[in-house]
Amino acid sequence: MASDLEKNDIIISTKNLSRVLDGEVPVTLIHSINLDIKRGQFVTITGPSGSGKSSLLYILGLLDNPTTGSLIIDGKEMTVLSENEKSDIRNSKIGFVFQFHFLLPEFTALENVMLPMKRLGLLHEAEIKSRAKELLESLGLKNELNKIPKQLSGGQSQRVAIARALANNPAIIFADEPTGNLDSKATANVIEIFKTLAKDHQRTIVSVTHDNTFAHASNYSINLVDGTLVST
């Protein structure tokens, strides 16, 4: 085994990651998680309700802060960064897909996908537009570009949300129950997209799910029980 090469290929690494909710009776959401995720892997986090899988996902996605422990993404320690620095990383390196599409209702599908790119501000308006178009077309939404979220079906909305997550070409995509609200056909579609992204485009995908089909389709599953890692 060429261990050096493999080590360089680790994109997410945690050490003793814990999250405790303050209060009169402190609640431990996750406890001492140690894991390494390699680039280009499609990983699912599974476990019963309340096992802390979403908590773990949000901490990995820099939307929440761990109480103790270390989180290294792409070789950098994240726990020492300021809120704004974390915002910048979310903007450029991370994409999110949620159970509900959370598209902005005032904007068309195309504009929703353009938003993160405009926020990043690296490309010109025209380039942003053509990239957003390409992304949506590659997800089979050629005819839905100028529709507002209200006019889209659940599956279509979720694909727009995936396109939006991919907008800034992020290294990692975090997904929270992305198929929880979809029928089996749309679910299969999303699974297919995630598989292709990981295999052909070297994107790392970390997704929380309790859908067995979805979990089986991934490279491997991380199983959480009561905030503790059970098996990988």
Partner 1 sequence: MRLLINIAVRQLVFRKRQSLVSLVGIVLGTGFFIAISSMMKGSENDFLKRLVDNSPHITISDEFRDPRVQPLEAMYPSNAAIEISNTRPVTETRGIRGFEKIIDFLKVKDPGIKVSQVLIGQGLVNYAGKDSPITLNGMIPEDILKVTTIEQNMVEGSIDDLIGYPDGIIIGGELARTLKLKLGNSISITASTGTTRIFKIVGIFRTGRSSYDINQSFLHLKRVQSLVNRPNKANSIIIKLSNPYNARVFAKETEDQVAYKNLSWQESSEDLINTIAIRNKIMYTVVSAVLIVAAFGIYNVISTVVMEKYRDIAILKSMGFYAKEIRIIFLTQGIMLGVAGCMIGVPLGIAFMYSLMQIKFKPPGGTQIIQMPIDWGITQFLVAITFAMTASILAAYLPARKAGAVKPVDILRGGAA
Interacting residues with partner 1 (CB under 8 A): 54, 58, 61, 63-64, 83-84, 87-92, 96, 98-100, 102, 104-107, 115-116, 118-120, 164, 176-177, 180
Question: In 3D, which of 94, 95, 57 has the Cα closest to residue 208?
Answer: 57
Surface-to-core class of residue 216, CB atoms within 10 Å of its CB (0-12 exposed, 13-18 middle, 19+ buried): exposed
User: CB of residue 37 vs partner 1: minimum separation in angstroms?
Assistant: 20
Rounded CA gap, 120 and 194, in Å? 24
Nearer to partner 1, 61 or 69 (CB): 61
User: CB of residue 6 vs partner 1: minimum separation in angstroms?
Assistant: 30
CB 174 within 8 A of CB 93: no
CB 42 within 8 A of CB 195: yes
Nearer to partner 1, 40 or 62 (CB): 62
Nearer to partner 1, 100 or 225 (CB): 100
User: CB of residue 119 vs partner 1: minimum separation in angstroms?
Assistant: 6
Determine the distance from the C-alpha atom of residue 186 to the mean position of all C-alpha atoms in its chain, rounded to a whole number.
Answer: 18
Nearer to partner 1, 75 or 121 (CB): 121
Nearer to partner 1, 9 or 111 (CB): 111
Q: What is the 3-state secondary structure of 60-121?
A: HCCCCCCCEEEEEECCEECCCCCHHHHHHHHHHHEEEECCCCCCCCCCCHHHHHHHHHHHHC
DSSP run (H or E) holding 195: helix 184-201
User: CB of residue 199 vs partner 1: minimum separation in angstroms?
Assistant: 26
User: CB of residue 92 vs partner 1: minimum separation in angstroms?
Assistant: 7
User: CB of residue 121 vs partner 1: minimum separation in angstroms?
Assistant: 8
Nearer to partner 1, 40 or 73 (CB): 73
How many Cα atoms within 13 Å fall on the side-chain side of residue 25?
0
